[in-house]
């Protein structure tokens, strides 16, 4: 029997999954319309292309994205099979709706800036228009590229992380990469990087400033880190493998001093073929500091391999989830 199951309709997991989708879609729309697009940043994806088209031809972002996302979903389902599922369709439609609502009500106007001027106000203040970025309503704003990029990366990362946690995918240009991956020997990761990099570099069409692709890449870096934190959690636990000649003393330190458990193994060393003792355990970050100091006192020649663990379930840690 497969352990992978879809959520039952209107179950707790179903509501959580679709809450993630709606919240992620809303945050994505905010990040795109209010943070990335006013600064002409294009951090990959169809909405990166839509941002470039908006600044080149004043086409609405939601309309341009719809003309790309909907055909890509259809083509992707035809070539790759219906692997994206209903959640990705819901996410794609929700993002389009939220982007359309925000750009129609708020407009493509930044939240982060150092002042907004009309052309007349800028002239009176002695501010050169060359140092400003025009808005869709004819005004100009003083940009704060770095802070805006960090906040945009945070919002994008949260949005896509929530969508991924729901079991959906981002769709869009990722489908292009998947199609190319099917017919070439190039890895999916490399293809995603190529496609998104090409979209990022396209910002040079709306401005000859090399800062735009650079800040777009910085946005992608911040976004990827936040996605990992949302999907995998903050890696606050350490999984440790200890090879020691004093397993009893190390075991006592783990069980008595830290009140943790573990598992003991017998192994054979590759170099001399001698039998070695290995202890496997998982502890918190602060407990690892104490354990490391204790092992140094017990067996300075011990070998320790430490792995970051984002989620630990079982006795003494997070409880295993219960089925509905």
> Three-state SS for 320?
coil
Task: Give dist(CA 25, CA 87) in Å, integer.
Answer: 11
Judged on CB neighbours under 10 Å (0-12, 13-18, 19+), 248 is exposed
The model's pLDDT over 59-72, given as tens digits with 9 standing for 90+, comes to 999 999 999 998 88
Does pLDDT of 181 surpass 70? yes
Residue pair 109/75 in contact (Cβ under 8 Å)? The answer is: no
Helix or strand holding residue 52 (H, E): helix 45-57
Please give the pLDDT value at position 5.
Answer: 46
Does residue 324 register a pLDDT over 60?
A: no
pLDDT tens for 28-38 read 999 999 999 99
Question: What percentage of residues in the chain have a pLDDT greater than 70?
Answer: 89
What is the model's pLDDT at position 1? 36
- Would the pLDDT of 105 be above 70? yes
Alpha helices, DSSP H only, in the chain? 12-30, 45-57, 61-80, 85-105, 119-125, 145-165, 173-183, 188-201, 211-232, 247-252, 285-298
Better pLDDT: 304 or 5: 304
pTM of the model as a whole: 0.78
Task: Give yes or no for a contact between 238 and 288, defined as CB atoms under 8 angstroms apart.
Answer: yes
Q: What is the pLDDT of residue 15?
A: 92
Average pLDDT over residues 269-295: 85
The pLDDT of residue 57 is 92
Mean pLDDT of 234-247: 85
pLDDT average, residue stretch 186-210:
78
Q: Is the pLDDT of residue 282 over 50?
A: yes
Contact indicator for 282, 260 with CB cutoff of 8 Å: yes
pLDDT band at 81 (very low <50, low <70, confident <90, very high): low
H/E stretch holding 18: helix 12-30
Of the segments 33-37, 44-48, 210-214, 289-293, which one has the largest average pLDDT value? Answer: 33-37
Can you say how many angstroms the Cα of residue 278 is from the centroid of all Cα atoms in its chain? 36
Q: Strand, helix or coil at 272?
A: coil
Q: What is the mean pLDDT of residues 292-311?
A: 87
* 17-28 per-position pLDDT tens digit: 899 999 999 999
**Binning pLDDT at 50, 70 and 90, where does residue 8 land?**
confident
Query: Would you place residue 219 in the very low, low, confident or very high pLDDT band (cuts 50, 70, 90)?
Result: very high
Residue 261 to residue 316: CA distance in whole angstroms: 9
**What's the pLDDT score for residue 88?**
80
CA-derived radius of gyration, the chain = 26
What lies within 8 Å, CB to CB, of 229 at 6+ separation is: 157, 161
- Judged by average pLDDT, the poorest of 25-29, 209-213, 270-274 is 270-274
First to last CA, the chain: 17
pLDDT at 297 over 70: yes
Structural domains in the chain? Answer: 12-232 (no CATH), 237-309 (3.30.70.120)
Summarize the confidence of residues 235-244 as an average pLDDT. Answer: 86
Could you tell me if 110 and 148 are in contact, meaning their C-beta atoms sit under 8 angstroms apart? Answer: yes
**Over residues 146-174, mean pLDDT:** 86
Binned at pLDDT 50, 70 and 90, residue 122 comes out as confident
For 220-237, write each residue's pLDDT tens digit. Answer: 889 888 888 887 777 678
């Amino acid at each position: 029997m497969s352990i992978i199951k879809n959520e039952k309709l209107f179950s707790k997991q179903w509501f959580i999954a679709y809450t993630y989708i709606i919240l992620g879609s809303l945050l994505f729309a905010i990040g795109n319309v209010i943070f990335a697009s006013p600064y002409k940043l294009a951090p990959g994806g169809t909405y990166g292309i839509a941002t470039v088209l908006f600044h080149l031809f004043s086409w609405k972002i939601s309309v341009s994205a719809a003309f790309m996302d909907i055909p890509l979903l259809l083509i992707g389902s035809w070539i790759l099979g219906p692997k994206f599922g209903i959640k990705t369709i819901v996410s794609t439609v929700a993002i389009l709706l939220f982007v359309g609502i925000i750009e129609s009500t708020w407009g493509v106007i930044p939240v982060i800036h150092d002042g907004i001027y009309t052309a007349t106000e800028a002239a009176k203040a002695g501010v050169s228009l060359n140092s400003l970025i025009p808005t869709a309503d004819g005004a100009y704003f003083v940009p704060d590229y770095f802070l805006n990029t960090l906040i945009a990366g945070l919002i994008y990362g949260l949005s896509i992380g929530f969508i991924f946690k729901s079991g959906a995918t981002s769709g869009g240009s990722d489908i292009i990469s998947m199609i190319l991956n099917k017919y070439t020997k190039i890895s999916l990761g490399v293809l995603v990087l190529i496609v998104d990099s090409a979209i990022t570099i396209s910002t040079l069409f709306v401005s000859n400033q090399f800062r735009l692709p650079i800040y777009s890449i910085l946005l992608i870096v911040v976004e990827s880190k936040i996605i990992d934190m949302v999907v995998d959690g903050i890696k606050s636990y350490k999984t440790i493998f200890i090879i020691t000649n004093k397993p009893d003393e190390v075991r006592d330190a783990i069980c008595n001093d830290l009140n943790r458990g573990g598992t003991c193994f017998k192994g054979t060393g590759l170099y001399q073929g001698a039998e070695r003792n290995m202890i496997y355990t998982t502890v918190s970050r602060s407990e690892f500091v104490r354990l490391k100091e204790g092992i140094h006192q017990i067996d300075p020649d011990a070998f320790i391999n430490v792995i970051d663990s984002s989620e630990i379930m079982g006795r003494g840690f997070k409880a295993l989830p219960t089925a509905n």
